[in-house]
């Protein structure tokens, strides 16, 4: 009797392989990149630079377990910059410091100014006490640093303060530069425990949608609110600047307007200039991060269908506003015998699309699937839609699609119970 039951169960399992899988789009996470609507202004979208026209699809086994999650950005800073003129530098510039051993660099704002910054003419005082220039460490001119392979203007003078002298304020004087000569002073405090950090939830954004960034000033494990900050968003060619609002709760917010997209290639930069006083300590920090901003020119439509006769192939509905070559990337996970998701494969596809609704096929090599030993349910993680010819990231989903075979799952449970 048990033998007949087992045979019947096995026949049900083999028959279930022919059952059509259930394919479902999952709702987007808060940190996903998803266009709420597509732009109608095509003047902001350049011509596609793609050269390949044949559709392609390929996949390979994935051995690294990348769990779905936002791939955020962050940058730390123990430094700041001050713009001065020759007149200001001759009169003296006060620089607040938080630790000994600071590295100071004075440079002409524009290279080739023929400005001669001479260490012998440098005058320094720490907390109103004059410093002997001979006590400084690593005094270098631009020419000396260039010979060491550093990319600095020749019109540069740099030095390091003693590492054993506590300092709260440094005054720098250097007479001799033209009154209107533009200069910049860079202050780097490698030994300071005061750190500014800016963060973004992901490296890509869409024009017209909110850009929300984190901004924190910390000392060790303690974080401090920031009262005085100027922040802005700058286009790749630096031709346009938009203010970023500080919400007073460790965050910045803004957006690139749809009509403000730059035709120049490159990344947008968010800059924050912080000056904060904590008791008797004045902390200055400049921090920035860079990310891409694309027009909302394409998206997944939410339509998906299993490719008939395919080991694991999906036709993904895509809507675009301009003709071009578009790419889809996805990480496919499968289920092991213990019911746990495991990495299975990376899959990529690309095809030409005309404006309007279309589809791109994401397909898994049957040999990769067979050798993995994994089964349904399958999931597609870190799904991306890109415009290849314009280098735009148009959509990103952490956890996008679930593919399951309910009949097969029921047969497996039946066999285990018997």
220-277: pLDDT as tens digits: 999 998 989 999 999 999 999 999 999 877 799 999 998 888 878 899 999 999 999 9
In 3D, which of 299, 308, 318 has the Cα closest to residue 357? 318
Give the mean pLDDT of 28-50. 90
Q: What is the pTM of this model?
A: 0.85
Distance CA 49, CA 246 (A): 38
pLDDT of residue 41: 86
All CATH 2.60.40.1930 domain ranges of the chain, comma separated, are 193-294
Count of residues making up the chain: 418
Task: For 294-324, give one letter per residue: b (16+ CB within 10 A) or e.
Answer: bbbbbbbeeebeeeeeeebbbbbbbbbbbeb
Give the mean pLDDT of 21-45. 90
Is residue 17's pLDDT more than 50? no
Q: Which range (104-118, 291-305, 388-402) has the least confidence?
A: 104-118
pLDDT of residue 89: 95
With contact defined as beta carbons under 8 Å apart, do 296 and 306 qualify? no
Q: How confident is the model at residue 11 (pLDDT cuts 50, 70, 90)?
A: very low
Task: For 265-291, give one letter per residue: b (16+ CB within 10 A) or e.
Answer: eeebebbbbbbbeeeeebbbbbbebeb
Tell me the CATH number of domain 79-188, given options 3.40.1500.10, 2.60.120.1370, 3.90.190.20, 3.40.920.10.
2.60.120.1370
pLDDT of residue 148: 86
Is residue 2's pLDDT more than 50? no
CATH code of the domain occupying 12-71+297-417: 2.60.40.3870
108 compared with 79, residue with greater pLDDT: 79
Distance CA 28, CA 315 (A): 19
DSSP structure class, residue 180 = T
CATH code of the domain occupying 193-294: 2.60.40.1930
pLDDT of residue 71: 74
307 compared with 136, residue with greater pLDDT: 307
Q: How confident is the model at residue 16 (pLDDT cuts 50, 70, 90)?
A: very low
pLDDT of residue 264: 81
DSSP structure class, residue 119 = G
All CATH 2.60.40.3870 domain ranges of the chain, comma separated, are 12-71+297-417
311 compared with 375, residue with greater pLDDT: 375
pLDDT of residue 69: 58
Give the mean pLDDT of 78-105. 96
Distance CA 325, CA 53 (A): 7
């Amino acid at each position: 009797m048990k033998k007949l039951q087992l045979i019947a169960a096995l026949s049900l399992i083999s028959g279930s392989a022919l059952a059509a899988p259930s394919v479902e789009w999952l709702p987007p996470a808060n940190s996903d990149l998803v266009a709420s609507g597509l732009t109608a202004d095509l003047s902001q979208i350049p011509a596609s630079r793609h050269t390949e026209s044949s559709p392609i699809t390929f996949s390979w086994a994935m051995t690294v377990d990348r769990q779905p999650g936002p791939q955020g950005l962050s940058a730390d800073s123990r430094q700041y910059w001050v713009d001065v003129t020759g007149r200001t530098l001759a009169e003296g510039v006060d620089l607040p410091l938080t630790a000994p051993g600071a590295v100071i660099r004075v440079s002409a704002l524009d290279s080739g100014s023929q400005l001669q910054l001479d260490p012998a003419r440098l005058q320094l005082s720490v907390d109103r006490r004059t410093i002997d220039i001979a006590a400084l460490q690593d005094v270098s001119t631009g020419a000396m640093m260039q010979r060491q392979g550093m990319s600095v203007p020749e019109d540069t003078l740099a030095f390091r303060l003693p590492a054993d002298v506590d300092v709260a304020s440094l005054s720098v004087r250097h007479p001799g530069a033209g009154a209107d000569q533009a200069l910049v002073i860079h202050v780097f405090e490698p030994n300071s425990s005061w750190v500014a950090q800016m963060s973004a939830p992901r490296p890509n954004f869409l024009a017209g949608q909110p850009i929300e960034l984190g901004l924190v000033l910390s000392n060790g494990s303690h974080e401090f609110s920031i009262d005085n900050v100027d922040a802005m968003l700058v286009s790749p060619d630096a031709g346009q600047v938009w203010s970023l609002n500080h919400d007073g709760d460790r965050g910045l917010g803004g957006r690139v307007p749809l009509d403000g997209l730059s035709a120049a290639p490159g990344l947008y930069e968010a800059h924050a200039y912080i000056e904060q006083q904590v008791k008797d300590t004045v902390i200055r920090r400049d921090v920035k991060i860079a990310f891409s901003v694309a027009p909302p020119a394409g998206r997944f439509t939410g339509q998906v269908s299993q490719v008939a006769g395919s080991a694991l192939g999906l036709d993904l509905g895509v809507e675009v506003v301009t003709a071009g070559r578009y790419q889809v990337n996805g990480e496919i996970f499968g289920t092991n015998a213990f019911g746990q998701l495991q990495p299975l494969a990376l899959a990529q596809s690309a095809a030409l699309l005309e404006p309007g609704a279309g589809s791109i096929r994401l397909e898994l090599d049957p040999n990769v699937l067979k050798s993995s030993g994994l089964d349904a349910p399958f999931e597609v993680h870190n799904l991306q839609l890109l415009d290849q010819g314009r280098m735009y990231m148009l959509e990103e989903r952490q956890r996008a699609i679930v593919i399951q075979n309910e009949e097969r799952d029921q047969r497996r449970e039946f066999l285990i119970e018997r």
